[in-house]
Structure formats: structure tokens, C-alpha cells
Amino acid sequence: MYQTTYHRASSVAEAVKLLADSGDGKFVAGGQTLIPTMKQRLAAPTDLIDLRHISELKGISFSGNEVRIGAGTTHAEVASNAALAGICPAICHLAGHIGDPHVRHMGTIGGSLANNDPAADYPAAVLALGATVHTSKRSIAADDFFAGLFTTALEEDEIITAVSFTAPEKAGYAKFPNPASRYALTGVFVAKRPDGVRVAVTGAGEDGVFRAEALEQALSTSFDPSALNGISLPYDGLLSDIHASAEYRAHLIVVMAKRAVEAANA
């Protein structure tokens, strides 16, 4: 790790100011992505502005069917929140299968979304749920938030403060883990909402998370795994690496979508 200077912010406004005052600073939340990257000397921020002690970023709140998850909420907190499990168990299931217990007790939803790893789990949920990403500057619809591999609509000094969504009628997440990293080799989140079905795919796209329209259409007709029988997706735009070819991923998307629907209907 290169030398860096640590700062602890106690409010969003202070964090923004600390970043502005730094040379080439970066926010750090759970550190589960940023710190390993720094240890490998692939990132070299001059300053680290710690968001973990900002109380306004914490906690999960409800207003009827409206859910708001603070950006600083850890994966373990999402996984174990009983009220959330009552209205959207799929997101709890998703969070409970990220990494290992250490990672889940440190990593945050805000960090995961800001990082937008093409194999991360949360982006699939946020996109399929049609969630809104709230930041220190504005509110961004999920459809406008994800902008390619490790790229989002966020500006350098913009902090995600929360994610909100309306609980879906039904939702399910099925993940086929990469055998080595256990990130998603292909993960599919399906959400049935009054205005239709949304299907988001992570782990498979060359540009990161994406919506699978063909599957959405089929499932809007009948929200049943059998609705996806016989569908085969084109390979172009899909990732190909030592763990899975584009062809295999195209196949897995359909299989995982069926399993996600099955989970949603269970």
C-alpha cells in the first residue's frame, strides 16, 4: 500500500469538504473493495475519507411499502433485517450470499453500488427493483445510474446516501457463483411489480448489469418459470473469460431467471 492520510467524517457535508480539500482523495466505506485494491498498489489515493461514522448513512426505514436503505448499511444488516425480509425477502437473501461473513459485516450497499463491479450482486437488485439512488446532490433512477464496468452516474465528489424502492409484489434472486471468487458468474434478480416484470442480470454483461427485455416480456405474460422455456439469448455483449464463455453465460441467464422466478413464487 502506498502512503495515505486517513480522515474520519461525521457528516455527509464534512465528507464532501474533506474530499474537496484533499489532493487525490477517495471515500472509503466498508473498504472491502478499496483496501485490497490499495494493498495491491492498483489504487493510490492520497487521502481516505471514512464514511462509516456518519449516522445519516445508516439504517433501514419503512413507510408503508416504501423501503429506504442507508448507504452505510452493511450486507449483514440487510441480510438479517426481519422487517425487510417480511416485504422483500429476495434482497435479504441476496445480501446474505455476498462474500463471506467478514465481508458482509464490513461491506456496504453504498460501496457496492458506487463500485459497480460487473459481477457484484446488489446492482441486479437495484436495477430490477427500479430503485432510486439518493446522493449528496440528487436522486438518480436505477435505469440511469449504472453506466458500464465500474462506472456510474456519480460525480467524483458525490456520495450515495441511500437507496429507496417500493416493495415488489414478488421478487427472487438466483446466483450462480464464480467457482473461485464466489462473486456472481451470472446472477438474475426478477421483480414483479404492478407495472410489469423487471429482470436484471449481473455477472454476465460486458457493460455490467443489464435488463433482459426478452425475459421481462415472457414473464409479464406469465410469471412462471415455464414462461421462459425455449428462450435462448444472443451471446453478443456477454462476458467471456476462463470461467465461462459468453455462450455458457447466455444459457445460465435463462436457468438462473427460472430459478429466481421459482424462488419468488415460493
Ligand X SMILES: Cc1cc2nc3c(=O)[nH]c(=O)nc-3n(C[C@H](O)[C@H](O)[C@H](O)COP(=O)(O)OP(=O)(O)OC[C@H]3O[C@@H](n4cnc5c(N)ncnc54)[C@H](O)[C@@H]3O)c2cc1C
| 235 touches other proteins (CB under 8 A) | no
27 binds, among other proteins, ligand X, none (CB under 5 to 8 A by kind): ligand X
Q: Other C-beta atoms within 10 Å of 109: how many?
A: 30
**111 is an interface residue for ligand X by CB under 6 A:** yes
- Residues from 165 through 224 that contact other proteins (CB under 8 A): 176, 179-181
- Considering only 121, 140, 204, 264, the residue that binds ligand X (CB under 6 A) is 121
How far apart CA 107 and CA 98 sit, in angstroms, is 9
Stretch that binds other proteins, among 26-34, 87-95, 215-223, 251-259 (CB under 8 A): 251-259
Q: CB nearer to ligand X: give 93 or 192.
A: 93
All cell numbers assigned to 109:
450497499
Q: Which of 41, 63, 230, 234 binds other proteins (CB under 8 A)?
A: 41
- Answer yes or no whether residue 230 interacts with other proteins by CB under 8 A: no
Instruction: State the nearest-atom distance from the C-beta of 121 to ligand X, in Å.
Output: 4
Tell me how far, at minimum, the Cβ of 125 lies from other proteins, in Å: 21
And the C-alpha cell for 237?
Answer: 455483449
Residue 32: which of 151, 121, 129 has the closest Cα? 121
CA pair distance 91, 84, nearest whole angstrom: 8
Q: What is the C-alpha to C-alpha distance for residues 164 and 155, in angstroms, rounded to an integer? A: 20
Residue among 73, 115, 132, 166 that touches ligand X (CB under 6 A): 115
Q: In what order do the strands lie in the sheet with 25-28?
A: 5-8, 47-50, 25-28
Establish if 245 lies at the interface with other proteins (CB under 8 A): yes
CA distance linking residue 222 with residue 226, whole number of Å? 8
Helix (H, G, I), strand (E, B) or coil at 115: helix
In the complex, the residues that contact ligand X under the rule CB under 6 A are 26-34, 36, 51, 71, 98-99, 103, 106-108, 110-112, 114-115, 117, 120-122, 159-160, 182-183
